[in-house]
Chains A and B, each alone.
Chain A
Amino acid sequence: DQQVKQNSPSLSVQEGRISILNCDYTNSMFDYFLWYKKYPAEGPTFLISISSIKDKNEDGRFTVFLNKSAKHLSLHIVPSQPGDSAVYFCAASARNSGGSNYKLTFGKGTLLTVNP
Chain B
Amino acid sequence: DTGVSQDPRHKITKRGQNVTFRCDPISEHNRLYWYRQTLGQGPEFLTYFQNEAQLEKSRLLSDRFSAERPKGSFSTLEIQRTEQGDSAMYLCASSFYNEQFFGPGTRLTVL
Asked if B67 is at the interface of the complex by the 8 Å CB criterion, the answer is no
Interchain CB contact under 8 A, A103 and B45: yes
Question: Is B99 at the interface (CB under 8 A from chain A)?
Answer: yes
A32 proximity list for chain B (CB < 8 A): 98
**Does A73 make an interface contact (CB < 8 A)?**
no
In the bound complex, residues from chain B placing their C-beta under 8 Å from that of A36 are 102
A43 sits at the interface (CB 8 A)? yes
Residues of A69-91 whose CB lies within 8 A of B = 89, 91
Chain A residues touching B, majority SS: strand
Interface residue B43 (Cβ < 8 Å from any Cβ of A): yes
Stretch from A10-18, A44-52, A60-68 at the B interface: A44-52
- By a beta-carbon cutoff of 8 Å, the part of chain B in contact with chain A is 4, 6, 31, 33, 35, 40-45, 48, 55-56, 91, 93, 95, 98-105, 107
- Minimum distance in angstroms from A95 CB to a CB of chain B: 10
Q: Is A105 an interface residue (CB 8 A)?
A: yes
Which A residue sits closest to B10, measured CB to CB?
Answer: A41
| Alpha-carbon gap, A34 to B100, bound state (A) | 9
With known contacts A102-B31, A102-B33, A104-B100, A44–B45 Cβ distance under 8 A: no
**Those 10 A-B pairs whose CB atoms lie nearest each other, nearest first:** A106-B42, A43-B102, A103-B45, A44-B102, A101-B98, A43-B104, A43-B105, A106-B43, A43-B103, A89-B42
A-chain residues with CB within 8 Å of residue B4 when the two chains form the complex: 43
Contact yes or no, B105 A103, CB < 8 A: no
Q: How distant is B96 from chain A, measured CB to nearest CB, in Å? A: 11
Q: For the complex, give the distance between the alpha carbons of A49 and B99 in Å.
A: 8
Is the CB of A42 closer than 8 A to any CB of chain B? yes
